Amino acid sequence: MKKVILSIFTMSLFIVSCTDDDDTISPSEPLGAYEDGIIVSAEGGPSSISFISEDLTTSENQIFYNVNNETTGVYLQSLGFEDEKAYIVVQDGTITVVNRYTFEKLATISTGLTLPRYIAFEDDKAYVSDWGDPIDATDDYIAVIDLNSNTVVSTIAVAEGPEQILEESDKLYVSHSGGYSTNNIVSVINTVDNSVETITVKDVPDEMAINEDGDLVVLCQGGNSWNAIGETTAAIVKIDLSDNSVISTLEFPLGDHPGLMSYEDGVAYYILNNGVYGLTDNATSLPTTSLFDIDASYAYGLSVDDDQLFVTDASFTENSTLLIYDIATGTETNTFSVGVGASKIYFN
pLDDT tens-place string over residues 310-340: 999 999 999 999 999 999 999 999 999 999 9
Task: Please tell me which residue, 13 or 140, carries the higher pLDDT value.
Answer: 140
pLDDT given for residue 45 in this prediction: 78
Position 27 confidence tier, pLDDT thresholds 50, 70, 90: low
- DSSP codes joined into one string, 138-190: T--EEEEEETTTTEEEEEEE--S-EEEEEEETTEEEEEE--TTS---EEEEEE
141-162: average pLDDT: 98
β-sheet bridge partners, residue 96: 88, 108
Q: Cα(234)–Cα(315) distance, rounded to whole angstroms?
A: 26
Q: How large a percentage of the chain has pLDDT more than 90?
A: 89
Position 308 confidence tier, pLDDT thresholds 50, 70, 90: very high
pLDDT averaged over every residue in the chain: 92
Question: Measured between alpha carbons, how far is residue 129 from residues 116, 193, 209 in Å?
Answer: 6, 18, 17
β-sheet bridge partners, residue 208: 218
Cβ burial 106-127 (10 Å sphere, 16+ → b, else e) = eeebeebbbbbbbbbbbeebbb
Position 10 confidence tier, pLDDT thresholds 50, 70, 90: very low
Contact (Cβ atoms closer than 8 angstroms) between residue 98 and residue 89: no
| Residue 30 CB-density burial (10 A; 0-12 exposed, 13-18 middle, 19+ buried) | exposed
Angle at the Cα of 109 (from 105 to 110), degrees rounded to 5? Answer: 130
For residue 17, pLDDT beyond 80: no
Q: Cα(301)–Cα(257) distance, rounded to whole angstroms?
A: 15
46-56: average pLDDT: 96
pLDDT per residue over 109-119, tens digit each?
Answer: 999 999 999 99
Q: Cα(159)–Cα(175) distance, rounded to whole angstroms?
A: 10
For residue 19, pLDDT beyond 60: no
The 8-class DSSP code of residue 67 comes to: H
For residue 280, pLDDT beyond 80: yes
How many other CB atoms are found less than 10 A from the CB of residue 341? 25
270-298: average pLDDT: 98
6-14: average pLDDT: 37
pLDDT given for residue 11 in this prediction: 36
Cβ burial 76-102 (10 Å sphere, 16+ → b, else e) = bbbbbebeebbbbbbbbbbbbbbbbbb
Position 46 confidence tier, pLDDT thresholds 50, 70, 90: confident
Helix or strand (DSSP H, E) at 95 = strand 94-99
Position 2 confidence tier, pLDDT thresholds 50, 70, 90: very low
Signed CA dihedral, 75, 72, 126, 306: sign only: negative
Contact (Cβ atoms closer than 8 angstroms) between residue 181 and residue 161: yes
pLDDT given for residue 16 in this prediction: 39
pLDDT per residue over 157-175, tens digit each?
Answer: 999 999 999 999 999 999 9
Q: Cα(241)–Cα(159) distance, rounded to whole angstroms?
A: 20
Q: Cα(294)–Cα(196) distance, rounded to whole angstroms?
A: 40
SS3 state of residue 116: strand
Q: Cα(342)–Cα(235) distance, rounded to whole angstroms?
A: 25
pLDDT per residue over 78-99, tens digit each?
Answer: 999 999 999 999 999 999 999 9
Angle at the Cα of 264 (from 163 to 127), degrees rounded to 5? Answer: 30
How many other CB atoms are found less than 10 A from the CB of residue 213? 13
